[in-house]
């Protein structure tokens, strides 16, 4: 008799830098369908409804032509890491009036005005200075912004985000910013082929959310957990992700090393050799 022992979901980080380029609407449809199927399978493993997981395609570094193909394949929100790059793309694609933008990378206060102008969502809030700058600019624009508080769950000094034990006090300060609609928490896991260590980052974010929920101030919702990318989104879903940010598995590998986005990151290079 063959006993079917479920294998533990592994990372796909060995694919890093090797994902094939999407060059047509068909390629994008195919990649999106593949990712959605994997999302559904991960949900099924843990008894979740796939409707509770939002796929955010990440288009950073990719040219406008690629983004237009992704839009034609059905993408209606795109994630970008750098505010200036995102702003430039938004300006160039104003004709696509149903396309919305999520900024998922670190923000300096002097770029808050860009984000306030065009973004629907900002996933990397990690300081009151940035909250203040965004609030001021959003008030001027007469706009609101969905925000996620970024938490450093890997303990790496190179990663942005609040330390887990700083988040409770930070949340208490956020109701003062009426233009910021707090939706939940975001994290980047350790970039490692050691599945268990990656999973622990996701577990940490989920358990932190459960703890914080009880004392969260009125109006601060912690329903969302944004965690997981091309190499680890299936593990993130098993641990409760409601948003997965997937770039390379949809668009293809990026030409630039990850140190360009995540200063100090060196571990990614190990997978790119």
Ligand X SMILES: *Cc1c(COP(=O)(O)O)cnc(C)c1O
Contacting positions for ligand X (CB under 6 A): 58, 60, 81, 104-105, 188, 229-231, 245-249, 261
Shortest separation between residue 232's beta carbon and ligand X, angstroms: 9
At residue 52's C-alpha, the angle toward residues 231 and 72, to 5°, is 70
Q: Give pairs for 254-259: CB < 8 Å, separation 24+.
A: 254/17, 254/60, 254/61, 254/62, 255/61, 256/61, 258/191
Q: For 217, which DSSP code?
A: P
Closer to ligand X by Cβ: residue 134 or 236 = 236
Strand, helix or coil for residue 234: helix
Closer to ligand X by Cβ: residue 34 or 172 = 34
Closer to ligand X by Cβ: residue 177 or 251 = 251
Q: Which residues contact 4 (CB under 8 A, 6 or more apart)?
A: none
Shortest separation between residue 229's beta carbon and ligand X, angstroms: 4
- Does residue 43 contact residue 50 with C-beta atoms inside 8 Å? yes
At residue 136's C-alpha, the angle toward residues 141 and 82, to 5°, is 80
Shortest separation between residue 123's beta carbon and ligand X, angstroms: 7
Strand, helix or coil for residue 149: strand
Shortest separation between residue 261's beta carbon and ligand X, angstroms: 5
Tokens of 25: 């609407």
Closer to ligand X by Cβ: residue 164 or 231 = 231
Closer to ligand X by Cβ: residue 164 or 247 = 247
Closer to ligand X by Cβ: residue 240 or 247 = 247
Closest-by-Cβ residue to ligand X is: 247
Shortest separation between residue 218's beta carbon and ligand X, angstroms: 29
- What gap in Å lies between CA 102 and CA 107, rounded to an integer? 12
The β-bridge partners of 103 are 80, 122
Closer to ligand X by Cβ: residue 231 or 240 = 231
Shortest separation between residue 164's beta carbon and ligand X, angstroms: 18
DSSP for 87-127, written as a single string: HHHHHHTTT-TT-EEEE-S---GGGHHHHHHH-SEEEEE--
Shortest separation between residue 80's beta carbon and ligand X, angstroms: 9
**Quick one: the chain helix, strand, coil %, rounded to 5?**
45, 15, 40
């Amino acid at each position: 008799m063959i006993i079917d022992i479920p294998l533990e979901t592994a990372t796909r980080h060995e694919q890093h830098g090797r994902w094939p380029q999407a060059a047509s609407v068909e390629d994008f449809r195919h990649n999106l369908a593949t990712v959605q199927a994997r999302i559904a399978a991960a949900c099924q493993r843990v008894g979740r409804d796939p409707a509770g997981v939002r796929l955010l395609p990440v288009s950073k570094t990719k040219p406008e032509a690629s983004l237009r193909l992704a839009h034609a394949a059905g993408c209606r929100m795109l994630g970008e890491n750098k505010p200036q790059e995102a702003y430039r793309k938004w300006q160039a694609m104003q004709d696509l009036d149903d396309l919305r933008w999520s900024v998922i990378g670190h923000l300096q206060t002097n770029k808050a005005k860009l984000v306030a102008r065009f973004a629907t969502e900002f996933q990397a809030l990690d300081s009151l200075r940035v909250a203040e700058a965004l609030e001021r600019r959003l008030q001027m624009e007469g706009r609101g912004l969905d925000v996620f508080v970024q938490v450093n769950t890997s303990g790496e000094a190179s990663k942005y985000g609040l330390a887990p034990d700083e988040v409770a006090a930070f949340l208490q300060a956020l109701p003062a910013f009426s233009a910021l609609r707090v939706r939940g928490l975001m994290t980047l896991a350790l970039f490692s082929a050691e599945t268990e260590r990656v999973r622990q980052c996701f577990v940490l974010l989920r358990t932190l959310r459960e703890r914080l929920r009880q004392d969260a101030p009125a109006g601060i919702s912690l329903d969302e957990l944004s965690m997981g990318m091309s190499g680890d989104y299936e593990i993130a879903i098993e641990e409760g992700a409601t948003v997965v940010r997937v770039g390379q598995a949809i668009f293809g590998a990026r030409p630039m090393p990850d140190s360009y986005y995540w200063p100090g990151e060196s571990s990614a290079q190990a997978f790119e050799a």
